[in-house]
Amino acid sequence: SPEQPNITSYDVTALAIITLEVFAGMWINAFVVSVLCISWVKKKTLNSNEKILLLLGCSRFCYLCISWIYSFLSIIYPNYLYVHRVFQLVLSIQSFLNYSDLWVSACLCVFYCVKIANFGNSFFIYLKVKMDRMVPGLLLGSVLVSLVLSIILFNETDKAISKNLNYTCQGHIWKASIRIEEHFFPIRFIVGLVFVTSFMAVIFSALLLLFSLWRHKRNMQTNCMKDLSMDAHIKAMKSILSFFIMYSINFIFLILSLIYYANEQSHVLFLIAPVLYAFPGFHSLILICSNPKLEKTMLRVLLCVKCK
């Protein structure tokens, strides 16, 4: 078997931080999934917003779980991870769940934009009327696109590793001499395209929604209509703005992860990883606080825990 690499205090610290973030995010997303599943059983149906949140919570929970396994094995037991086909499989599953998270997040932002924003454009009005019917197709399309991209990633990674493995490697990838610049450029291009496409969908939707809410808020102030609707619009603007900032930071670190992964700078990657793993938990927490049903349930659960 290959020689076990030395585990430094830096690696242990990075793993501890990642573990805390991942398990916090898993609990938050498990809460979202549990509440929505209970509501689904009681009502026998889910509205479009709840369908998106349910799929988003499931994909994030699974993504955080497989990401922690990947980080744990890569630091503590790399011999079990960096094995031919095992590494490709884990990386592809993680990528599939990450792509699903990004696409479903983009679908959620587009859904909020279409349902809440108010524009007189005929195409926008058509989308507002048909959006509920389009949601299942958008979610299915997001999952299928993510699956296809993860399969492509698995095949390209397998080809690159197979070409560089030799008899001295004994099937262990971390001893193989892989020329990343030559073999992984198509993969990086595809992954980067996924990041940019989902990011642009979120950015345009968030900006349109913020502009619509700001315009509506200004009209209410002009007409002296200071009521509960004003507070609701201000709260919605704060939620969208916080998501806009968080998604922008997440996008920057995703691009950095592609760059430094290509240069095989693992220590830099472990600085980037905590930011990436914090996003699914923090964003889901914002979604809970902006959803009356989830917020009320969370407060009730916290009250019960405090009383006990």
Along the 308 residues of the chain, how does pLDDT read in single tens digits?
Answer: 444 556 777 778 888 888 999 999 999 999 999 999 998 999 888 898 899 999 999 999 999 999 999 888 888 877 777 776 788 888 889 989 998 998 998 888 888 888 887 777 788 888 888 888 999 999 999 999 899 988 888 887 777 777 665 434 444 444 444 444 455 666 777 777 878 888 888 888 888 877 877 777 777 666 655 554 556 556 666 777 777 788 888 888 888 877 766 555 556 666 788 888 888 998 899 888 888 888 888 888 888 877 76
Q: Does residue 299 lie within any of the structural domains?
A: no
CB contact set of 274 (below 8 Å; sequence gap of 6+) = 14, 17, 18, 21
- Residue 306 falls inside a structural domain: no
pLDDT at 203: 85
**3-state class (DSSP) for residue 82:** coil
* pLDDT given at position 64: 94
* Partners of 172 in the β-ladder: 83
Is 301 domain-assigned?
no
Q: Which residues pair with 83 in a beta bridge?
A: 172
| 300 within some domain | no
Q: Cβ distance 58 to 64 under 8 Å?
A: no
Structural contact between residues 70 and 76, judged by C-beta atoms closer than 8 angstroms: no
Q: Establish if 307 belongs to a structural domain.
A: no
Number of domains in the chain: 1
In a 3-state reduction of DSSP, which class is residue 5?
A: coil
- For residues 203, 281, 66, 156, the Cα torsion angle rounded to the nearest 10 degrees is 10
- Could you tell me if residue 4 is inside a domain? no
CATH of the domain at 225: 1.20.1070.10
Which residues have C-beta within 8 Å of that of residue 200, sequence separation ≥ 6? none
* Secondary-structure percent of the chain, ordered helix, strand, coil, rounded to 5: 85, 0, 15
* Residue 91 belongs to a domain: yes
Domain that holds residue 35: 9-293
Amino acid at 277: Y
pLDDT, position 56:
94
pLDDT for 248 equals 85
- How many C-beta atoms surround the C-beta of residue 21 within 10 A? 23
Distance CA 82, CA 265 (A): 16
Q: Is residue 191 part of a domain?
A: yes
92 Cβ contact list (under 8 Å, min separation 6): 150, 151, 153, 154, 157
Q: How confident is the model at residue 163, as a pLDDT? A: 67
